[in-house]
């Protein structure tokens, strides 16, 4: 704005670049970044961060990685937030192997500057799931050993591993890990408890599901179970004529005031096993 004898500084450019990146106008933002250098100004850490985040949000990960390296080449040391933004983007849009490489680079950089660079729970869960889907279950276990106790809980990590194993149709492994969690005192997440019982029930092993439910209840984790699971389990017990267990579960549901979910209520009403209540 030379007509007003006003000159933009890097801070002003950063505000505009950030807003453009948030809107997804990455190409215009890039032109402004080049323009900074033409008027004797220099991009700073905020400029690079806005662009890297914008590229990640737009799914343009190659450009985000290139800019990240260019930022380091200009003498800037990425902070924890910058690493997390790029790591999150890679987890969502690229190979988990690439994410692990960046995680290793992040650990090394943060050891050198005494920063706490442990990825948050969401990133760890995304990595664990991605590794399992790509067939790298052992790598997922190594990652858990690497991050637990450093800001990410044992329970969160292993619960996500249980869910990932179920997702790739390794139910037996998932169940072994789940039971190991119960024995060790690591509390599975609500979704891990509910999914584990449901999947075992769907395999036709209804009695095993009921026994697992009892084990979870005995450890006072039963509040984590989705109320719909009670209906699924009750229907399965009735259909397989496990009248004693069905009656116990029905009475427990009454005591806890858990209502039957549709369409399971109609199926249950047709079962004679509940007439003994």
pLDDT digits (tens, 9 = 90+) for 63-86: 888 888 888 888 887 777 888 888
3-state secondary structure (DSSP) of residue 70: helix
Residue 142 counted as domain residue: no
Residue 128 counted as domain residue: no
pLDDT digits (tens, 9 = 90+) for 145-188: 887 776 678 888 999 999 999 999 999 999 999 999 988 888 88
Mean pLDDT, residues 198-225: 85
Residue 17 counted as domain residue: yes
Find residue 148's DSSP bridge partners: 152
DSSP 8-state secondary structure symbol assigned to residue 259? P
Number of Cβ atoms within 10 Å of the Cβ of 194:
19
Question: Is 242 exposed, middle or buried (CB count within 10 Å of its CB: 0-12, 13-18, 19+)?
Answer: middle
Domain boundary among 85, 116, 151: 85
pLDDT digits (tens, 9 = 90+) for 49-65: 888 888 888 888 888 88
- 3 CB contacts (<8 Å, ≥6 apart)? none
Number of folded domains that form the chain: 2
Residue 149 counted as domain residue: no
Dihedral sign (CA 24, 29, 30, 31): positive
Of 172, 191, 175, which is closest to residue 183 (Cα–Cα)? Answer: 175
Amino acid 273: pLDDT: 44
Number of Cβ atoms within 10 Å of the Cβ of 277:
9
Instruction: Respond yes or no on whether the N-terminal peptide bond of residue 263 is cis (omega within 30° of 0).
Output: yes
Domain boundary among 64, 85, 106: 85
Domain that holds residue 76: 1-85
Residue 175 counted as domain residue: no
Helix H, strand E, coil C: the string for 121-180 is: HHHHHHHHHHHHHCCCHHHHHHHHHHHECCCECHHHHHHHHHHHHHHCCCHHHHHHHHHH
CATH code (residue 42):
1.25.40.10
Q: Is it the case that residue 274 has pLDDT exceeding 50? A: no
pLDDT digits (tens, 9 = 90+) for 126-143: 888 888 888 889 988 888
Residue 141 counted as domain residue: no
Q: Is it the case that residue 110 has pLDDT exceeding 70? A: no
- Residue pair 124/141 in contact (Cβ under 8 Å)? The answer is no
Domain boundary among 53, 85, 117: 85
Its pTM surpasses 0.85: no
Find residue 152's DSSP bridge partners: 148
Per the prediction, the chain carries an average pLDDT of 82
Dihedral sign (CA 257, 261, 264, 267): positive
Any idea what the Cα angle at residue 50 is, between residues 64 and 96, rounded to 5°?
A: 35
- Residue pair 50/19 in contact (Cβ under 8 Å)? The answer is no
Residue 169 counted as domain residue: no
Residue 74 counted as domain residue: yes
Helices (H), ranges, the chain: 10-23, 26-38, 45-57, 61-73, 80-93, 96-113, 121-133, 137-147, 154-167, 171-184, 190-202, 206-218, 227-239, 243-256, 264-269
């Amino acid at each position: 704005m030379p007509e007003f004898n006003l000159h933009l500084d890097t801070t002003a450019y950063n505000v505009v670049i950030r807003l453009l990146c948030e809107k997804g106008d990455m190409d215009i933002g890039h032109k402004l970044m080049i323009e900074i250098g033409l008027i004797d100004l220099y991009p700073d850490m905020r400029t690079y961060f806005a662009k890297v985040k914008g590229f990640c949000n737009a799914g343009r990960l190659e450009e985000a990685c290139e800019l990240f390296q260019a930022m380091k080449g200009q003498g800037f040391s990425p902070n924890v937030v910058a690493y997390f933004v790029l790591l999150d983007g890679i987890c969502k849009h690229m190979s988990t192997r690439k994410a692990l490489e960046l995680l290793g680079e992040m650990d090394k950089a943060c050891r050198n500057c005494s920063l706490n660079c442990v990825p948050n729970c969401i990133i760890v869960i995304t990595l664990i799931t991605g590794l399992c889907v790509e067939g790298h279950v052992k790598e997922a276990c190594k990652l858990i050993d690497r991050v637990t106790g450093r800001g990410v809980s044992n329970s969160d990590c292993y619960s996500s591993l249980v869910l990932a194993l179920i997702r790739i149709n390794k139910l037996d492994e998932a169940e072994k890990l789940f039971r190991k969690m119960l024995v060790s005192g690591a509390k599975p997440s609500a979704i891990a408890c509910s999914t584990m019982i449901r999947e075992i029930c769907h395999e036709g092993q209804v009695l095993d599901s009921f026994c697992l439910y009892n084990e979870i209840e005995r450890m006072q984790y039963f509040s984590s179970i989705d109320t719909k699971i009670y209906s699924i389990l009750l229907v399965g017990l009735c259909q397989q004529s496990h009248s004693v267990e069905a009656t116990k579960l029905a009475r427990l549901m009454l005591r806890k005031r858990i209502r039957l979910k549709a369409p399971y209520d109609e199926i249950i009403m047709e079962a004679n096993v509940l007439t003994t209540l």
